[in-house]
Structure 1
Amino acid sequence: MSSQILNLTQGKPAPDFKISLSKQDDTGKRVTLDEKYTDVNGRITDFLKVNNGTSQHGIFKLMYFVESYFEKLNQSSFYPFIEVVFEIKDDNHYHVPITLSPFGYSTYRGN
């Protein structure tokens, strides 16, 4: 599983952007699995590594820490964070990108 953030106001990737990944357990509680920062290309390529023993099936949430990113750029933003909740039902690769500006965003399932 991977993610990427593109800053639309700058027309380039968003490096050093904090993202956390959690999974819903059998009781409905969310358990944080990992927390990382994007690389210079605005990417995190290694969430949910196959060999770490974590099942890739289930309901997951990516939390994008928007406010802290824009604060580093001396910009205000409307969203303090973005939560993207999705379900994985197979063993395919999932890529969840975000296109972002201080006052809007879009996401989709990439490849």
Structure 2
Amino acid sequence: MSTSTAASPRNSVSTHILDTSIGRPAQGVAIQLSARPGRDARWQPLGGSATDADGRCKDLPALPEGTTHVRLDFAVEAYFEKKQADAQQDAPASRDSGAVFFPEVAITFAVEPGEHYHVPLLLNPFGYSVYRGS
């Protein structure tokens, strides 16, 4: 005899990155997803992915039941280094040292059971902004 129970609603997370310095999606940015079941709990790495040609990352793992906090770690340094190398082929040397000001962007947010969270990152070499999208 089998018993069935209704599955509890799962949280999910998606993101995309727009490079506002060029008005285009940021392709190839590695993203790591972590979660924890309470403010004082340890972060549990869940896996990651990278942004596609449209700057989207649609295949992040589902969040474990009981998740209350989520962290997205965006490894933007390699993206900006590649972009800078490509630009140097076409332009004279810039006044910047070449160092990436924000090599990583970590976004932490609270979640409620059963909700989907889309967290866009608006990025440029000297700043960033995030918001809860739809």
- Report whether the alignment pairs 1:7 with 2:19: yes
State how 1:61-80 maps to structure 2 within 5 Å: 61-74=71-84, 76-80=99-103
Q: Unpaired segments of 5 or more residues in structure 2? A: 1-12, 85-97
Deviations 1:35-74 (A, max 9, x none): 1100110001132337xxx227321100011111101112
| TM-score (norm: length of structure 2) | 0.73
Which has the larger Rg? Answer: 2
- Structure 1 residues 105 and 56, CA gap change in structure 2 (3 angstroms): farther
Distance in structure 1 (CA, Å) of the matches to 2:47 and 2:66: 13
State how 1:1-111 maps to structure 2 within 5 Å: 1-25=13-37, 28-49=41-62, 54-55=64-65, 57-74=67-84, 76-111=99-134
Question: Greater share of strand residues, 1 or 2?
Answer: 1
Matching residue's letter, 2:110: E
RMSD: 1.8
Residue 119 of structure 2 aligns to a residue whose secondary structure is strand
Deviation at 1:19? 0.6
Distance in structure 2 (CA, Å) of the matches to 1:87 and 1:99: 20
Contact 1:76 1:102 in 2 (8 A): no
| TM-score (norm: length of structure 1) | 0.87
